[in-house]
Amino acid sequence: MPSPHDKAALKQSQKEVKQLKRERVRKEKALAEAAAILVLRKQLRDFYGETDEDD
């Protein structure tokens, strides 16, 4: 039978895993948003025939 310490450690590990998964999902969404913005900026530049002054 697992000791109370083992149960607490397991619960803490599960909590950390859940938090890391949420953080990963948040970062993936932010990355996808940034990629979409870059694609749209490029499409607008191409459409209007402009050059990128930032590069």
pLDDT, one tens digit per residue, over 6-54 is 999 999 999 999 999 999 999 999 999 999 999 999 999 999 997 766 5
Q: How far is CA 22 from CA 4, 14, 27, 36, 49, in A?
A: 27, 12, 9, 21, 40
Query: What does the alpha-carbon distance between residue 39 and residue 47 come to, in Å, rounded to a whole number?
Result: 12
pLDDT at 1 over 80: no
Check: CB of residue 45 under 8 Å from CB of residue 52.
yes
